[in-house]
Amino acid sequence: MNTRTHLTHQQPIYRLTDVTRSYNGRKVVDIKNLSIFPGELFAIIGPSGSGKSTLLRLMNFLEEPSSGDLEFAGYRRRAGVDVPLELRRCVTMVFQRPLLLNRSVWDNVIYGLRLRGIRNSYHLVQQTLEEVGLEYLSHQQVKTLSGGEVQRVALARAIVLRPEVLLLDEPTANLDPYNVALIEKIMVKLNEQHRTTVILVTHNIFQAKRLAGRVAFLLDGQLVEVADTETLFSAPADERTAAFVSGEMVY
């Protein structure tokens, strides 16, 4: 359905070099080097305000870096130049505060497919709603849904597009254990069965530990440490990482 980048495992899907993003002269993201590879389940953790959502918006091409190089699948983003549509369509994002259309669950999930001119998608929408456990609510208006249901519609709307890269900004914040488990299962399935690259921003360090292969710890816009999950949690190289993952960092 959508274009894919056909990268091998060794080629990064994202490569950031000296990427900064500033607002009103304040640098909120400042990444020296970061490479993310196809098929990874990569988590970004860090305190509130550390720049996690901003970093995801950069990776979703919604914002431009203020300086530095952001490469996606070998394509280098240039200031003032739109990223080609076929590359943008490889990536979908679920926002921290999802905005849904004031219509039914079904209409929300099919919307992105329609925008892409994809017809005859009844089975795909149906299957996606089943995946997120919402098939029985397909005709319900989204304004009447619970918080957990809204999060699942937002996820369904993204995964129905079968993206190569899925960016998730706190997809389980404020959800009960049932919904957390359900959404985590979907992330793992997409990653393991469909080889979707999943980049997960989460406050929940236990979630990062459960799901991710590698984890990045962001503090004041900078990457303190990027490591495989086992190392980052059991033998972090930086004392600030150790303080954060042990819950000692006060923020």
The residues binding ligand ATP (CB under 6 A) are 23, 28, 46, 48-54, 96
CB 84 within 8 A of CB 25: no
Judged by CB under 5 A, does residue 53 bind Mg ion?
yes
| H or E element, residue 128 | helix 122-131
Kindly state the smallest distance separating residue 17's Cβ from Mg ion, in Å: 23
φ, ψ of residue 112 in degrees (nearest 5) = -65, -35
Helix, coil or strand: residue 16: strand
Site for Mg ion in 68-97 (CB under 5 A): 96
Phi-psi region of 36 (alpha: psi -120 to 50; beta: other; left: phi over 0): beta
Closest distance to ligand ATP from the beta carbon of 157 (Å): 20
Residue 31 forms beta bridges with which residues? 19
234 contact, one of ligand ATP, Mg ion, none, CB 5-8 Å limit per kind: none
Name which of Mg ion, ligand ATP, none residue 51 binds, using a CB cut-off of 5 to 8 Å depending on partner kind.
Answer: ligand ATP
What are residue 218's phi and psi, to 5 degrees? -105, 135
Q: Which stretch binds Mg ion (CB under 5 A): 53-61, 160-168, 188-196, 237-245?
A: 53-61
With respect to ligand ATP, which residue has the nearer C-beta, 5 or 50?
A: 50
Residues lying near Mg ion in the complex (CB under 5 A) are found at 53, 96
